[in-house]
Structures are given as C-alpha cells and as structure tokens.
Amino acid sequence: MDKYFEFNNGTKILCGKNALNNLKYELDYLGSSCPLLLSDEGLETAKIVDFVMKTAKNIKFNAVFTKIPADSSTLTINQIARLYKNNKCDGIVALGGGSVIDTAKGVKLILNQSKVDIMDLAGNEIVKKGKFIPFVVIPTTCGTGSECTSVAVIKNSKTKTKLEFISSELLPDVAILDERLTKKLPPKLVASTGFDALVHAIEAYTSLQKNPISDIYATTAIKLIGSNIIDAIGGDDNARLNMALASNLAGTAFSSAMVGIVHAIGHALGAVLNIPHGNAMMMLLPACMRFNLDKNFIEYSSLLLYFTNEDEYISAKPNERAKVLIEKIEETIGLIKQKTGIMLSLKEYGAKEKDLNVVAEKALSDGAGIVNRKDFSKEDVLNILNEIF
C-alpha cells in the first residue's frame, strides 16, 4: 500500500424487514426522548409521515416540520434550528430523500457548533467536533446515499448558489433502511435515483481519492444495482430494499473517495436547466465513461464482473471488457427508457445550444470535478454535452 488515505464512517445501519420498528430503541440508546421529526410535503401527502408516526407511536416528537423544499436552503435550516431550540428537542429524525437529509445535516451542524447562521460553516473539514446531537436518518429513495455521507449541499438563500459542506460531523448516528418506505416510490424515481447510486459507486471506484475500503463498498453497490435495478423498477420489494442498501453502500464509498466529472456536469445541468439529478446522471454516464476510458481502462474492465456476472466477464475479451461495460450500461439505460419513458437528451428538457456554454463553465468550477482522474477542459465538457444534446 503506497498511497495515503483516510476513511471514516461511523453510521450504524439497520437494514431489512421492519427495521423501522427499532427507531424507539435507537433513540433511547442515543439519549433522545423528545426529538424533532423532519420531512417534506410529498411524503406527508403520501401518508409516509403518518406511517412512521404510527410505527413509532411510543416516541414523543416535540416538533414535526414537513415544509422542507426540494432544494434545502440556508434560510430553512436557520428556521428549523430555531424551532428545535424553541421546542426543547433533544435529537433529530430525518425522513425523506436527499433534500430532507441534507437539511437535517445542516440543522445538526448549526446546533452542535452553537452557531446562528449555517453560512459560517461552509467549507471542507473546517468544523471541529461539537456538542452531541442524536441524529437518525430514514431514507425513502434508492439513490442519494446521503444517510451515510459526510457531505451536504445547501442552497444559499441570498445568492441562490449551492454551497458544499464537508465534515465528519454531518454523519448521522443511525440510518434505517426499511423496504416499506420505498414501496410508493414511482418507477421513474427508482430508476433515476438508482442510477445516481450507480454513478456514485463507479466514480468512487475510479476517483483520485479511491482506497481499498471505499473499493469494497463501491463494488458491492455496483453488484447489487446491476442485478436489482430492473426488478426494482418493476416494483419487486426485495429488489427495492437491495437498491436502498446499494445506495447506502455507494454513499459510503463516495463519502470517502468522492465523485468526478459525471457529477460535476450533472450539478451544472441541475443548476442551469433544472434537470433532475438522477436523470442527468443517467444521460451523462456513458459519455463521461468514454471520455475517461483511457485513464480508467483497468478499473472499468474489472467493474464488468460486478455490473454483470462471471459468464459475461469471462466471455468478453480482456482488452474489450471496459467497452463492454459501457455497452451493458447503455443497454440497461435503453431498457429503463422503454419501461419508464424517462427523458434522456438535453433537447427534451428544452436546452438550447447557447445554454451549453454556461453549463460547461459552471461544471469546470464544481468541486466534484477536482478528483476526476482525468483533467478536463471546457471543450471536453462541451463535447460531452453535444453527445447527449
């Protein structure tokens, strides 16, 4: 081992049938008797919040906040932190997807660092160990993996730009993956969030920051996604639970190894053209893999085994395995498009050619791109964007 690396993940994971029933025990264990429950309106309408409250009826939530917007913002976080203090809560339970979880992380950070404004804490690993705030996360999608990452992306309400917060203090104490919570997830969302998880794992496995521990998480996640994503879209409960687990593993991998060019361009597409993150990942992945092929040839070749199976791996010629992997991913995307009708070109989202320049410039300054093994220029990004136009 000639490379220095750091790996930190202290989140306890409860995964499987009826995992949610252990929420009361976990909160007691962490010393929280009157927590704050955070969620969003979509989950409230879908009665998921009710379901959790009923399952955990012996828990006394001192406050419930379900008005978290699609993009978590500094304003919402500051507001929730005040709600937490005013209601004398002693822990946080976050129920939802990436936005709810990132908001909860922001709230935890501001409280454990005793700050009034979350903006004071933006940056990378600048935050010190703070006051202990029990923090439990219950994800309801199969993609973000945010329940086990030390990263939160929060919109600055004043400048409308997205800020990144990176700190071990953002890691939840417990993550609960229960199959009942992803039952109502529409197939399109299963597909796009599932692909987000796949990109997390592939980029973590090929980034500058990859290490032997993150590799184990990434390859296991890819194996689970390759064999479950289509069934999960079809509504199979077990496949959906496997996808939730894969998302968690991929999240752990990228929390240590970071991501790369697919996310750098994907974030820019989200900011400029409002393209949903998972859909952007699905569109970009094959084109970006072709761009990275010369630098990541060995890694892509070995990933064929995990994404497909032993037979496919052995039948492909060693010097063609990387290309076969890209083809197999494209086949899966084609199948998903057939099943869900998901939009997979920039034109379908109303993009104009002049937008591409703005996207390319924004992608260049995205933090995700910095650990992509192959350096990229604006022209490279434009070429990729033209490929998916």
Partner 1 sequence: MKKSSIINIVFNVLGKAFGYVCKNDKRAKDLFFALPKHLTINMGIYGESTYISLEKTENQILKVKPTKENADLEVLFKTRYAARLVLLGKISVSESFARHDILLKGDINTAVRLVRIINIIEYYLFPRIITYKFLPKMQKEISSFKVYGFTLFGNSKNCKIDNFNAKIKNVTNKNAEKHNKDTDGSDKNLEKLQNVEKVSEKV
In the complex, the residues that contact partner 1 under the rule CB under 8 A are 4-6, 122-126, 159-161, 163-164, 166, 207-209, 258, 271-272, 352, 354-355, 358, 361-362, 364-367, 369-371, 375
Please tell me the distance from the alpha carbon of residue 356 to that of residue 345, in angstroms, as a whole number: 13
| Nearest-approach distance from CB 255 to partner 1, in angstroms | 12
Strands (E), 125-283: 135-139, 151-155, 162-166, 174-177
Q: Which is nearer to partner 1, 125 or 320 (CB)?
A: 125
Contact 230, 246 (CB under 8 A): no
| Nearest-approach distance from CB 234 to partner 1, in angstroms | 39
Identify residue 46 by its one-letter amino acid code: A
The two tokens of residue 124 are: 């990378």
Q: Which is nearer to partner 1, 39 or 207 (CB)?
A: 207
Please tell me the distance from the alpha carbon of residue 257 to that of residue 220, in angstroms, as a whole number: 15
Phi-psi region of 140 (alpha: psi -120 to 50; beta: other; left: phi over 0): alpha
| Nearest-approach distance from CB 28 to partner 1, in angstroms | 34
| Nearest-approach distance from CB 98 to partner 1, in angstroms | 17
Q: Which is nearer to partner 1, 246 or 272 (CB)?
A: 272
CB atoms within 10 A of CB 375: 10
| Nearest-approach distance from CB 159 to partner 1, in angstroms | 7
| Nearest-approach distance from CB 361 to partner 1, in angstroms | 5
Q: Which is nearer to partner 1, 95 or 363 (CB)?
A: 363
Q: Which is nearer to partner 1, 229 or 351 (CB)?
A: 351
Q: Which is nearer to partner 1, 6 or 50 (CB)?
A: 6
Please tell me the distance from the alpha carbon of residue 183 to that of residue 340, in angstroms, as a whole number: 17
| Nearest-approach distance from CB 196 to partner 1, in angstroms | 20
Give 147-150 contacts, CB < 8 A, sequence gap 24+.
147/11, 147/101, 147/172, 147/175, 147/177, 147/248, 147/251, 148/9, 148/11, 148/13, 148/172, 148/175, 148/248, 148/251, 148/252, 148/255, 149/251, 149/252, 149/254, 149/255, 150/8, 150/255
Q: Which is nearer to partner 1, 209 or 248 (CB)?
A: 209
| Nearest-approach distance from CB 297 to partner 1, in angstroms | 17
Q: Which is nearer to partner 1, 13 or 152 (CB)?
A: 152
The two tokens of residue 62 are: 């001192």
Please tell me the distance from the alpha carbon of residue 342 to that of residue 53, in angstroms, as a whole number: 33
Phi-psi region of 258 (alpha: psi -120 to 50; beta: other; left: phi over 0): left
